[in-house]
């Protein structure tokens, strides 16, 4: 398994490079113009000058190599600089200045050109890092809540097949899944924010948790988006859990285990559950990167402004460097978590061998 993991890690480098080329090509082919949001009153010649200032005139392969260099070489240098300067872990090391280069004209050290967003003209990684807290708070928490609710629901629904619990669970999860968040979001807002006035309808990203009261506020502003998102996750995972459990509950080894006199809890929670986890692990692993990808619609409805909102505004503004960077980070996570899933298959079922 170790050799497998190492080999896969090694192979993921060309995979990711290939993915980055495909994404870049796709973004280049897609119609769109970073000047689309500039009002029509700005004349076309001026827009053309603005495009040139963004570096749009350069040949495509130069643009790609520039991006690659900035993402893999320049940005890590800045990260090291930041870590040696102000991070808790490495702050004791002498400050490095890897990101700086000597400018002959100005005769001083200036920062290297980083990967710049076309909308904000500022380094993309800084904005991405700025967005991570609210994305983790809302989307990550919703995912966690979703998993924690869905696994027991799935297991119990399968164990008590066609009981009232199973029927109700099926009904709620399927209805919840088939109602899209662009409807559930406003619906919850109308109920809890407008009519009852209990919860805020717009998320405050500047809110800092420092005491009990501010924690309570943070909780209150998270409830609605977390509910909407968790509903989707719960529906999906619990369905797979239930189906897989049902398959395994009728297997011969279950009868054997029961015949051996094992306790029912052990039979279900250890033997059956472990054997049913493969599809569930797949779904969970596929979902983790999408936490990072954010929840575009839900973030938009509640004004959470996490990474999903960043991505969608960048897409609409045709901010190619930003889209490219976010999608690529997303790609890294997908490749990584699919590897994690593959390794977990081997752990769950030692018969699976990848040699």
Which of residues 93 and 175 has its CB atom nearest to other proteins in the complex?
175
Does position 345 interact with other proteins (CB under 8 A)? The reply is: yes
Burial of 310 (0-12, 13-18, 19+ CB in 10 A): buried
Count the site residues for other proteins by CB under 8 A. 118
Name which of residues 185 to 244 contact other proteins (CB under 8 A).
186-187, 189-190, 193-194, 197, 200-202, 204-206, 235-236, 239-240, 243-244
In the shown chain, the binding pattern of residues 236 to 275 toward other proteins, with x for contact by CB under 8 A and - for none, equals x--xx--xx-xx--x-------------------------
Which of residues 27 and 227 has its CB atom nearest to other proteins in the complex?
27
Nearest distance from C-beta of residue 27 to other proteins, angstroms: 5
- Report the residue from 153, 257, 284, 317 that binds other proteins according to the rule CB under 8 A: 317
Distance CA 78, CA 83 (A): 9
Pick the piece of the chain touching other proteins (CB under 8 A) from 59-67, 92-100, 265-273, 323-331: 323-331
Distance CA 116, CA 93 (A): 28
- Report the residue from 9, 160, 180, 347 that binds other proteins according to the rule CB under 8 A: 180
Which of residues 46 and 93 has its CB atom nearest to other proteins in the complex?
46
Strands 108-111 and 100-103: antiparallel
Ranges assigned E (strand) in 72-135: 100-103, 108-111
Question: Considering only CA atoms, which of 100, 58, 24, 4 is closest in space to residue 321?
Answer: 24
Name which of residues 276 to 305 contact other proteins (CB under 8 A).
278-279, 281-283, 286, 289, 300-303, 305
Distance CA 269, CA 315 (A): 45
SS3 for 33-50 is CCCCCCCCCCCHHHHHHH
Name which of residues 102 to 131 contact other proteins (CB under 8 A).
106, 110-111, 113, 116-117, 119-123, 126-127, 130-131
Nearest distance from C-beta of residue 114 to other proteins, angstroms: 9
Which of residues 116 and 144 has its CB atom nearest to other proteins in the complex?
116
Which of residues 76 and 133 has its CB atom nearest to other proteins in the complex?
133
Nearest distance from C-beta of residue 274 to other proteins, angstroms: 11
Distance CA 284, CA 277 (A): 10
Name which of residues 76 to 105 contact other proteins (CB under 8 A).
none
Nearest distance from C-beta of residue 349 to other proteins, angstroms: 5
Nearest distance from C-beta of residue 14 to other proteins, angstroms: 9
Name which of residues 43 to 72 contact other proteins (CB under 8 A).
43-54
Number of other residues whose CB lies within 10 A of the CB of residue 323: 25
φ, ψ of residue 14 in degrees (nearest 5): -60, -35
Contacts of 133 by beta carbon, 8 Å cutoff, 6+ apart: none
φ, ψ of residue 109 in degrees (nearest 5): -75, 130
DSSP codes joined into one string, 160-179: TTTSHHHHHHHHHHHHHHHS
Handedness of CA 200, 326, 140, 241 (dihedral sign): positive
């Amino acid at each position: 398994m170790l050799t497998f993991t190492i080999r896969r890690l090694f192979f993921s480098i060309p995979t990711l490079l290939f993915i980055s080329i495909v994404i870049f090509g796709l973004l280049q082919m897609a119609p769109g113009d970073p000047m689309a949001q500039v009002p029509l009153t700005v004349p076309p010649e001026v827009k053309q000058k603005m495009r040139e200032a963004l570096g749009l005139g350069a040949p495509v392969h130069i643009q790609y190599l520039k991006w690659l260099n900035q993402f893999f070489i320049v940005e890590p240098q800045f990260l090291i600089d930041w870590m040696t300067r102000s991070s808790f872990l490495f702050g004791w090391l002498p400050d490095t200045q890897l990101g700086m280069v000597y400018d002959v004209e100005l005769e001083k050290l200036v920062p290297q050109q980083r990967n710049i967003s076309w909308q904000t003209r500022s380094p993309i990684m800084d904005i991405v890092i700025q967005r991570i807290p609210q994305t983790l708070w809302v989307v990550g928490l919703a995912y966690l809540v979703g998993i924690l609710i869905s696994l027991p629901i799935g297991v119990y629904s399968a164990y008590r097949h066609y009981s009232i619990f199973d029927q109700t669970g099926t009904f709620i999860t399927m209805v919840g899944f088939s109602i899209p968040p662009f409807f559930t979001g406003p619906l919850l807002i109308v109920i809890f924010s407008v009519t009852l006035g209990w919860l805020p309808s717009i998320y405050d990203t500047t809110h800092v948790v420092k005491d009990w009261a501010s924690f309570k506020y943070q909780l209150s502003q998270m409830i609605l988006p977390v509910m909407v998102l968790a509903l989707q996750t719960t529906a999906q995972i619990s369905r797979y859990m239930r189906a897989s459990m049902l398959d395994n509950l009728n297997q011969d080894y279950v009868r054997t285990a029961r015949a051996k006199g094992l306790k029912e809890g052990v039979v279900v929670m250890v033997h059956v559950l472990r054997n049913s986890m493969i599809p569930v692990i797949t779904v969970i692993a596929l979902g983790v990167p999408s936490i990072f990808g954010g929840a575009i619609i839900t973030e938009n409805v509640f004004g959470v402004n996490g990474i999903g909102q960043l991505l969608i505004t960048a897409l609409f503004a045709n901010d190619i460097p930003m889209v490219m960077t976010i999608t690529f980070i997303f790609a890294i996570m997908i490749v990584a978590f699919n590897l994690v899933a593959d390794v977990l298959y081997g752990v769950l079922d030692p018969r699976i061998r990848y040699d």
